[in-house]
Structures are given as structure tokens and as C-alpha cells.
Structure 1
Amino acid sequence: MPKVLIYSSQFCGYCRAAKNLLRAKGLDYVEIDVGLDPARRHEMVERAGGLRTVPQIFIHGRHVGGYDELAALEREGKLNDWLADALKTYAAGASGSEAFAGADER
């Protein structure tokens, strides 16, 4: 299963929408709440190329972007391709550790 990581905050409607979309596709994800954790927010900003808004979503280490980008991938029928690519990488023996670099599953 592709590893999905979502940086979020508690009262973020876009975060909630992204998690709903992921659940609707039957995907599990690891969520990191950056709302009250400056170190985690800094980690997110670094991994997301300077983007500071939540959510920031990664599929098997590949940066998707926020909810708008995730929803666009789904609308265009490209999200399944991203997931399939992640599965191929995972099946080919990639450790997958890059998907959660610096992230623990709390």
C-alpha cells in the first residue's frame, strides 16, 4: 500500500476535505498536526519546498501539494496513476523510508 503522509492542523477545512478524499479512496495515511508544533511545521515547510499552508500531502515521499492539487489529480483521473507508481516503487524493493523521513507515526 502506498505510504501517504499529510501535514495538517486541527481546524483546517481543507485538511478535513483531503482526509475525506483519501479515506473515500480506501487509503490509510499518517497525519502530523503542525498546529501547535513549531518543529513539525518547520519540517513540513522544508519538505514542501517552502510552502507554509496546510495540508501538505506526500504519496510515498512524492509531494502532491495541498487539497486543491490532490482533488485536481482525482478529477483528472491521475491520482490512481500516482498511487500505482508508488506501489511499483514499493514492490520493486524501495524501503519507503523516504515517505516518512523525519515523521513518526504518533
Structure 2
Amino acid sequence: MQPVKMYTTAVCPYCIRAKQLLKARGVDAIEEIRIDMDPQERARMMAVTGRRTVPQIFIGDTHVGGCDDLVALDGRGGLMPLLQGAA
């Protein structure tokens, strides 16, 4: 299974939903980077993704996007192959 990294904040319903979906698909470990605790991480996230909102989700080296992007990827059947490293 590919490593999953997610930029989050403490109180973010979209972050919670994304984590629930990933866990439902068998992800047991998510590297969570709290941008509300570290302004440098927020700046890094914005530089890498070009986005200001959380969550920002990476599976392996692939930037998936936010929660809506993750749900759409799952709906198209692309999430499991990406998690398994086949995409």
C-alpha cells in the first residue's frame, strides 16, 4: 500500500471525511501534517499544491487534491489502484 500524507487542521469536517474514506479502503496509517500548528507547513503545502484549503492529500507521490477530489477518484474506481501502486 502506498504511503498517504494529508495536510489538515484540527477542526475540519472535510479532513475527517477524507480520513474515514481512506480507512474504509484499508489505509491504516496516514501521515497527518497539521498546518494550523505550523505556519511553515502551511506555506510548504501552498507552494507544492497551489491550494490554500485542507485537506490536501497525497498518495505516494501523487497529489490527489482535497476531500471532494478523493471522493470523485473513489467514485471513478481510481482510488484502490492508486493506493495499491498500480496507477
Displacement after TM superposition at 1:78 (Å): 1.1
What's 1:11 paired with?
11
TM-score where L is the length of structure 1: 0.76
What's 2:25 paired with?
25
Displacement after TM superposition at 1:55 (Å): 0.2
Q: 2:2 & 2:19 partners in 1: Cα distance?
A: 15
Richer in strand (by share)? 2
Aligned length: 86
What's 1:40 paired with?
41
Secondary structure, counterpart of 1:26 in structure 2 = coil
Give % identity: 44
- Where does structure 2 lack aligned partners over 5 or more consecutive residues? none
Q: Which runs of 4+ in 1 moved over 3 A?
A: none
- Structure 1 position 77 matched with structure 2 position 77: yes
> RMSD of aligned C-alpha atoms?
1.4
What's 2:59 paired with?
59
Task: Pick the structure with greater CA Rg.
Answer: 1
Q: 1:33 & 1:66 partners in 2: Cα distance?
A: 15
Secondary structure, counterpart of 1:64 in structure 2 = strand
- Where does structure 1 lack aligned partners over 5 or more consecutive residues? 90-106
Q: Which amino acid in the other structure matches residue 13 of structure 2?
A: G
TM-score where L is the length of structure 2: 0.91
Secondary structure, counterpart of 1:53 in structure 2 = coil
